Amino acid sequence: MKALQITKYGDLKDSLKFAEVDKPKISDSEILIAVKAAALNPIDYKIVQGHLKEILQLDLPASIGYDVSGEIVEIGSGVKGFEVGDEVFSRVPQEYMGTVAEFVAVDSKVVAQKPENVTFEKAASLPLTGLTAIQALEKVDLKKDDRILIHAGSGGVGSFAVQYAKAKGAIVYTTTSSTNLDWVKALGADRVIDYKNEDYKEVANNLDIVFDTLGNDYTFEAFDIIKKGGRVATIVGPPDTESAKKMGIKNYEMPEKLNKLIEEKSAKYRHTWMQPNAGQLKEIKAMVEDRTIRPIIDLVYSFEDAVKAFEYLATRRAQGKVIVSLAETFENQ
């Protein structure tokens, strides 16, 4: 079968190559999926560029991609709840990385039936971003009437988080650029902040929660705008001690500056290193089918143009998700 692989770390065009590899053989607990679409995420190009070498140890060449939607073509003898022909979606665990390929094998415990009312391309856009947003906001106990700022509402995680937080009854602020204002407003945010023309810290303050999707100074600035006892959820800031342990970081100490800010505000600070979760995929499926959540896609590329998809995503100009489609026919959505 054909698969896109990382051959070395560095420039995307030079480091990503198509290869003929063996079709996966499945165990009793696994299923084999004929890939119809794979979504790309920032972690994918960062892996290729070598930014995560200290965390993810790969034997190169290695197939790439985590998000998938497709059709089951083979089922292990111990698998329950699925049949050949089922249309499914998943964010595959690290050991199964390689969804930008014609087939992918994966443990059935991290797979769910895809939403019936969307295409394979839209279904593929949901797992990583949806699971990340849900897990991050659950860690800080998001609840009805919480006032929350979600950074980068036009991004993959941000656009899902805005819709999810509104569905939970929160009062949602989000940031975006001038060019994205209208469609981010359409996601349902109560206040969309044009960060090019407004100071978000003046518009959003005394908040219950900040969801930090940007990192660097934004992580620390979150403590300026939460109330006493507020919560900060991050997916890019320094890990908390518990997350560092799950990520395999030994002898970890949180930055002194961060500890001081947490203490001053009596704040809860939680980092999320997303984990595959079939139960939460089922929750996403239900929300998409009742139209609480709308998948947001920027561009769809053909399988043959997958490297171009990586290059476009790495420009950081995508408005929503970038998809690689292996379906026979598809259209940009």
Sort strands 67-75 and 62-63 into parallel, antiparallel or unpaired: unpaired
Tell me the per-residue pLDDT of 159-193, one tens digit each, with 9 for 90 and over: 999 999 999 999 999 999 998 899 999 999 999 99
User: Residue 52: what pLDDT?
Assistant: 86
Under DSSP, the state recorded for 86 is -
Average pLDDT over residues 139-160: 96
- How confident is residue 332, by pLDDT bands cut at 50, 70 and 90? low
Query: Is domain 2-126+295-325 in CATH 3.90.1480.20, yes or no?
Result: no
Judged by average pLDDT, the poorest of 151-165, 236-250, 281-295 is 236-250
| Rounded Cα distance, 271 and 25, in Å | 35
Judged by average pLDDT, the poorest of 40-49, 51-60, 169-178 is 51-60
Higher-confidence position of 180 and 322? 322
- How confident is residue 329, by pLDDT bands cut at 50, 70 and 90? low
- What's the CATH number of domain 129-271, 1.10.287.110, 3.40.50.720, 3.90.420.10, 3.40.50.1400? 3.40.50.720
User: Residue 174: what pLDDT?
Assistant: 98
Per the CB < 8 A criterion, the answer to whether 281 and 114 are in contact is no
* 4 bridge partner residues: 18
Closest by CA position to 174, among listed 186, 198, 191:
191
User: Residue 54: what pLDDT?
Assistant: 79
- How confident is residue 331, by pLDDT bands cut at 50, 70 and 90? low
| Rounded Cα distance, 124 and 185, in Å | 24
| Rounded Cα distance, 100 and 103, in Å | 8
Where are the domains positioned within the chain? 2-126+295-325, 129-271
* 120 bridge partner residues: none
Rama region for 160: left / alpha / beta (φ>0; ψ in -120 to 50; rest): alpha
Q: Whole-prediction pTM value?
A: 0.95
Q: Alpha carbon of 142 to those of 138, 157, 166, 208: distances in Å?
A: 6, 16, 11, 9
